[in-house]
Chains A and B, each alone.
Chain A
Amino acid sequence: MDWMKISSALLIVLMLVYLLPRAKDMIKNSPKASGNDFVAVLIPLLLVAGFVFLLIKSV
C-alpha cells in the first residue's frame, strides 16, 4: 500500500473526528421539518440530479 492511500485515509479519518461531534450537536439542535419543507428541498435537488444526468448524456 502506497503512502498516498495512507495519507488519504488519514485525511478522511481526521475529517470524521472533526465532523462526528458536530453532527451529533446539529442533529440535536436542528429545528424539526414539516412535510412542506421536505418538498421544498426535494424538488430543487431532483432538478439538480436531472441536470447532472443531462450533462452526463451530453459528453
Chain B
Amino acid sequence: MNRPVELAQSQSAVLETNKVLKNTYALLSVTLLFSAFTAYISMQMEMPGFMPLVATFGALGLIWLVLPRTANSAAGIGVVFAITGLLGLGLGPILNNYLQMSNGGQLIMTSLGGTGVIFLALSGYALTTKRDFSFMGGMLVVGMVLVLIASLANIFMQIPALSLAVSAIVILIMSGFILYDTSRIINGGEKNYIMATVGLYLSLYNIFVHLLILLGVMSDD
C-alpha cells in the first residue's frame, strides 16, 4: 500500500507548483514596474529613435545567450531585470512618438489597460480551468515564424494593411502564449520561475506594443 507516499508526493508537487506560480507573479510585477521606470527615464532623456532596435538586440542577446546559463542561480534575477530594463528603455521613444498625437495619452492608457485586462482574463481562465494547453506549443511557434516572415517582407514592401494584420495576429499569438505558459506552470511543465517570468513578460510587452500600433492607426485622430 503506497497510498500515503503517493498522497505526500502529490501534495509536495502542488506546493511546488504554487511556489513557482507565486514567485513568477511576484517577479513579473516587480519587473513590469522596473520596465515602466526605465521607459519613463528613456522618455525624459528623449532617447533617439533607434533605441528600440538597440534595446531589442540587447534583450534578445541576453535571452538567448545569458539567461539559459543563469536561470538556475540568483544571477538569473539580475538578468531578468536587465532584459526588462532594456525593453523599457526601448519603449521610451515609441511612447514619446505617441504622446505627440493629440490623443496619444489616451491611446497609451487604453493600450496599457487593455493589456492588463487580456492578461488577467487569460491567466484567470488558465488557472481556474487547469487545462493542459501544451498542445499549442508547436502551433504558436509556427505562427510566430510566419509572422516574422511577413514582418521581414513588409520592411521592404511597406504595406500598411499587412502591418496591421501582423499586429492583430501577434496579439492573438501572444494571448495563446499566456495560456500556454500559465498552463505549463500549473501542470508542472515549467519549474523555473525566472524562465516563466520572462515568457509572460514578453507576451505582455508584445501585446502592449501591438495594441498601441493598432489603436494608433485606427484612431480617428
Residue-by-residue, is A27-55 near B (CB-CB < 8 Å gives 1, otherwise 0)? 11111110001001100110111011001
Q: Given the complex, which residues of B lie within 8 Å of A33, measured CB to CB? A: 135-136
A13 x B114 contact (CB < 8 A): no
Which residue of chain A has its CB nearest to the CB of B140? A26
B: number of interface residues (CB 8 Å): 50
Taking Cβ atoms with an 8 Å cutoff, the residues of B that contact A are 49-50, 53, 56-57, 60, 64, 103, 106-107, 110-111, 114, 117-118, 121-122, 125, 129, 131-139, 141-142, 144-145, 148-149, 151-152, 155-156, 168, 171-172, 175-176, 179, 211, 214-215, 218-220
Q: What total of A-B pairs shows CB separation below 8 Å? A: 114
The answer for the CA separation of A16 and B212 in the assembled complex, in Å, is 24
A59 x B121 contact (CB < 8 A): no
Interface SS majority for chain A: helix
User: Can you list 22 A-B contacts (CB < 8 A)?
Assistant: A4-B53, A7-B50, A7-B57, A12-B155, A15-B60, A16-B152, A23-B144, A27-B142, A30-B135, A30-B137, A30-B139, A31-B134, A37-B131, A37-B135, A40-B133, A44-B122, A45-B176, A48-B122, A48-B175, A55-B110, A55-B111, A56-B215
